[in-house]
Amino acid sequence: MAQTRIPARDLALIAVFAGVTAALGLIPAFYTPFSPAPITAQSFGVILAGTILGGRRAFLSQLLFLALVAIGLPLLSGGRGGIGVFAGPSVGFLVGYVVCSGVIGWLTYRKGAPYSVLWGLLINVLGGMVLMYAFGILGLMAVAHLSLPAAIAANLPYLIGDAIKVVAATLIAKGVHAAYPGLLPWRGKQPTVEATPHNVQA
């Protein structure tokens, strides 16, 4: 049976973005009176991975991050780690890290290059906010036993911060894709090169 091998470049990118999400955990978590799940900077790494890596690599980068958390590394904000965190009120968001990064990446890859800020914002709002909140709400309902209205209300404090993350990730992705155009397949009109005395063969 043939084995599917991940290229070394992809492995490096997966590891780097798992590290980015982990590094963002050094920023202290912020708790509000409205939700048992903390506000963290790590969802920024989730969105950024999706916008830059594409679906498969983004999915695997966040899966790697959560695997490291599960074996006990204190990589979540506040130095949290271990299998027990997946039984806490943040479990919906943690599952969302993997799924949402993959969805953002898949949609971004489908749209392809040149990277569009407008499309990037729409995709990141869909994956990084709407879908992420859906997972978060389900997690709060299942673990914290909140009603649907209460779980929705518990997500409201995240809105402004997550909107800022979406904009920042989109602008960073625009710069990265401009510098490294090979990260996305070209879907738009190919740029043309004007004929000059230097590029016309005699």
Closest to 153 (Cα-Cα) out of 66, 32, 64: 32
Check residue 157 and give its pLDDT: 86
User: How far apart, in whole angstroms, are the C-alpha atoms of residue 123 and residue 46?
Assistant: 13
Whether pLDDT at 7 is above 60: yes
**Rg of the chain, C-alpha, whole Å:** 19
- Check residue 32 and give its pLDDT: 72
Q: CB atoms < 10 A from the CB of 196, how many?
A: 7
What is the C-alpha to C-alpha distance for residues 49 and 100, in angstroms, rounded to an integer? Answer: 10
Is 9-183 a CATH 1.10.1760.20 domain?
Answer: yes
- The per-residue pLDDT for range 145-193, each reduced to its tens digit, is 999 999 999 989 889 999 999 999 999 999 999 999 888 998 766 655 4
Other Cβ atoms within 10 Å of 63 Cβ, number: 17
The tokens of 56 are what?
């498969």
Least Cα distance to 87 among 137, 139, 134 occurs for 139
Q: Which residues are CB-neighbours of 39 under 8 A, at least 6 positions away?
A: 29, 30, 31, 32, 157, 158, 161
